[in-house]
Structure 1
Amino acid sequence: MRTALVIGTGLIGTSAALALAGRGVQVHLSDHDPAQARTAAARGAGTDQPPEGRVDLAIVAVPPAHVARTLHEAVQGGVARAYLDVASVKGGPRRELEALGCDLTAYLGTHPMAGREKSGPLAATADLFEGRPWVLTPTAGTDTEVLNLALELVALCRAVPVVMDADAHDRAVALVSHTPQLVSSLVAARLRDADETAVRLCGQGIRDVTRIAASDPRMWVDILSANPGPVADVLAGVAADLDETVRALRALEAADDGKRRDGAAGIEDVLRRGNAGRARVPGKHGAAPAVYESVTVLIGDQPGELARIFADAGRAGVNIEDVRIEHATGQQAGLIQLMVEPGAVAGLTATLRDRGWAVRH
């Protein structure tokens, strides 16, 4: 791949353009808002000038509702040898393209499983896709050259290719991406009118659950409008579980011992099913989930503190597998949880204490 055209310079389009430009590909940028394309170009993602001839690959990075029309116009204009989109739903756009009579041999639907709460070219980064799954949905009619160019794009962005059927992909992202967004927003919405005293008690649990609720509502309306059925199916199951959980909690309020036992059993059931589901989430580097233990340390909110604790962990010969930070409300301090292999806990704890850290049990 020597040349590429990125149509749509939001977070995903600009991030792909930055990755390609950084690896020597001549990237041309196009957007319905020329100012956004200029911003992406100013960040080093390519040029906002149109290509003089056909490019090797056209990447359509527009909201799902506009994918088919944008792709059809690009194919009709003959702007590239191969075309792909990066929208978060795949079945609908393909069927719309078929209805428009578009030749799909030169097209491949793809979806990089990466993103941020922020949007637009200023939020883009060249490493957004590194190590992340990038779904490809070829059909029997997909030209081999198109598939090879898509694989080259994935490699240049340092992502991991995953081949799936388009409709299977849409059902999967409904479960692992679209429904979590709505559930996070539903929980966060409870905070809008909550008493200030309650809000000040927010800890790491509520921060974890509501992190993605900060996402752009307009963007998510576009995404959910393109995949409503599968998302509604998942939410119907969640709603059924919620109904059962509410009944179990009400039973715990009952005076009857038998009802309280039934209520406790119902709560335990949903919690255990949650344990089982969480255990299936891939762990580090996509491997089976590992069991880590945490070493919790009080850390000040000053420059260099994180670097110092990581350096001290290195002196102990311990690899930090994951990190979580819980900030203390109204204080210039917090608790950092260093996730390590169980056998490393004693050595790390001893070293950190020797180095003056306040290790908490």
Structure 2
Amino acid sequence: MSGPVLVLGSGLLGASIGLGLRARGIDVVVSDPSPTAQAVAVDIGAGRAFNKAEALAPQLVVVAAPPDVTAQVVADALTGYPSAVVVDIASVKGAILAELQAMDGLPQDSLSRYVGTHPMAGRELSGPAAARGELFNSMPWVLCASEASSAHAVKVAHSLAIDLDAVVFRFTPDEHDGAVALVSHLPQLMSSLVASRLAETPASSLSLAGNGLRDVTRIAASDPSLWVQILGANAPKLLEIMKGVRTDLDRLINTLSAPTAPGARLDLAQLMTEGNEGQSRIPGKHGGPAQQYSWLTVLVDDRPGQIASLLTEIGEIGVNVEDLRMDHSAGLQVGMVEISVLPAKRAGLVEDLMERGWKVVQ
């Protein structure tokens, strides 16, 4: 891609796209309704500021606007830049396409230059100050071309993802919305529902919380205003899944209402097994087949450099860390580092670490 590329919206994703493209020498122009957000994006190097007086003829327009205004911004870009390919990066695709198709005054042949896309990347922070040019490295980037999208437009959208080192997937808009309802929107709702139970929980009870609760509720800290738009736009797909969850909850409630009744324990075991089976289908490291790893817990003093020393010594032993998580011991200045390794490596690693003086929980 040679550019120029016009990025409409300078939040986390828009500014990250600008940074990534600029790193490849591509001319990027950044525009945002907020002068402050635009200025920050320019200051961090995400592109040069949009100038209304400039006769800009972009090769590509990237719409990085909130979902509830994305369709209108796409339509304005298609009209204002009649030679440009226009893509959006909103997290819902079907509703935006339907809105564009129903717009009065938008020539439907202009949709040949439009491709809906969705980079599956983000951070816990927002805004241009949180942007990273490498944000999309090895992350899925979904292309959701419509029947009207031209081969040229799809090629340009594909090139954008490749230039940002993303991994390209192709879905129809309907397939995409069904997939993200299950793998993204449902987890967000379930996390928020669990976290809402904590609002009036006594602090003494929360002091017992461990990684399980933290893992489940981590994404409950997401931006409510953004998720209101996402969930509303994808409500039909999400509603179908939530009805299935309701059926499972009703089943569980009935079983727990009589936990010693004949068959109750079997039903609980079956429910947990179904969860095991579903979890095992989640792609593993680097997107490959899911693998079962072995975990070990190492106690470390809560002082600077301890985790770095532990990881360095594991590397010296010659074992690759497949995953890592950390918790703290309640009331003690001790951290608990949980290390995931290949099963065949676990026993030897435990022995070597203990010989080196590390405290490994058996």
TM-score interval, smaller chain = over 0.9
CA contact (8 A) 2:115 2:149 kept: yes
Counterpart Cα distance in 1 of 2:250 and 2:287: 34
Structure 1 residues 1-361: aligned runs within 5 Å: 1-2=1-2, 3-50=4-51, 52-78=55-81, 81-100=84-103, 101-102=106-107, 103-252=110-259, 259=261, 261-361=262-362
Q: Which moved more, 1:313-322 or 1:49-58?
A: 49-58
Counterpart of 1:99 in structure 2: which amino acid? Answer: A
SS at match of 1:55: coil
SS for the counterpart of 2:270 is helix
1:303-329 CA distances to partner (integer Å, 9 max, x unpaired)?
A: 222221111011111111111111233
Of 139-148 and 350-359, more deviation after overlay is shown by: 139-148
How far is 1:114 from its partner?
Answer: 1.3
CA distance in 1, matches of 2:355, 2:336: 18
Moved more, 346-355 or 198-207: 346-355
Query: Can you give the 5+ residue segments of structure 2 that lack an aligned partner in the other structure?
Result: none
Paired residue secondary structure (2:59): strand
C-alpha offsets along residues 109-168 of structure 1, whole Å, 9 cap, x if unaligned?
000111223221122222221111111011343222221211111112111000001011
Q: Secondary structure in 2 aligned to 1:130?
A: coil
**Are residues 325 and 79 of structure 1, via their aligned partners in 2, closer, same or farther at CA, if it must alter by over 3 Å?**
farther
Shift of 1:268: 1.3
TM-score computed with the length of structure 2 as normaliser = 0.94
Residues 58, 80 of structure 1: 8 Å contact kept: no
Gaps of 5+ in 1: none
For residues 66 and 323 of structure 1, the distance between their equivalents in structure 2, rounded to whole angstroms, comes to 39
Whole-angstrom distance in 2 between the partners of 1:305 and 1:14: 35
User: Within 2, Cα distance between the matches of 1:80 and 1:345?
Assistant: 58
Does the CA contact (< 8 Å) of 1:107 and 1:146 recur in 2?
Answer: yes
Counterpart amino acid of residue 307 in structure 1: A
Give a deviation string over 1:19-67, Cα, whole Å, max 9, x none.
1111211111111111111111111111223354211111001122111
2:58–2:81 contact (8 Å) kept in structure 1: no
RMSD: 1.4
Q: Can you list the C-alpha shifts for 1:251-295, whole angstroms capped at 9, x where unaligned?
A: 11xxxx5x1x32212211211111111011000111110111012
Q: Partners of 2:233 and 2:270 in 1: how far apart? A: 34
Q: Is the 8 A contact 2:319 2:341 kept in 1?
A: yes
* 3-state SS of paired residue (1:191): coil
Identify which range, 329-338 or 14-23, moves more after superposition: 329-338
Cα distance, 1:330 vs structure 2: 4.2
Label 1:331 to 1:126 Cα distance change in 2 as closer, same or farther (>3 A): farther
Q: Is the 8 A contact 2:295 2:339 kept in 1?
A: yes
- AA aligned to 1:322 is D
Distance 1:240 1:204 in 2: 28
State the AA in 2 paired with 1:91.
Answer: G
Structure 1 CA distance, aligned partners of 2:173 and 2:101?
Answer: 14
Q: Do 2:177 and 2:237's aligned partners in 1 also have CA atoms closer than 8 Å?
A: yes
CA distance in 2: counterparts of 1:143 and 1:185, whole angstroms: 40
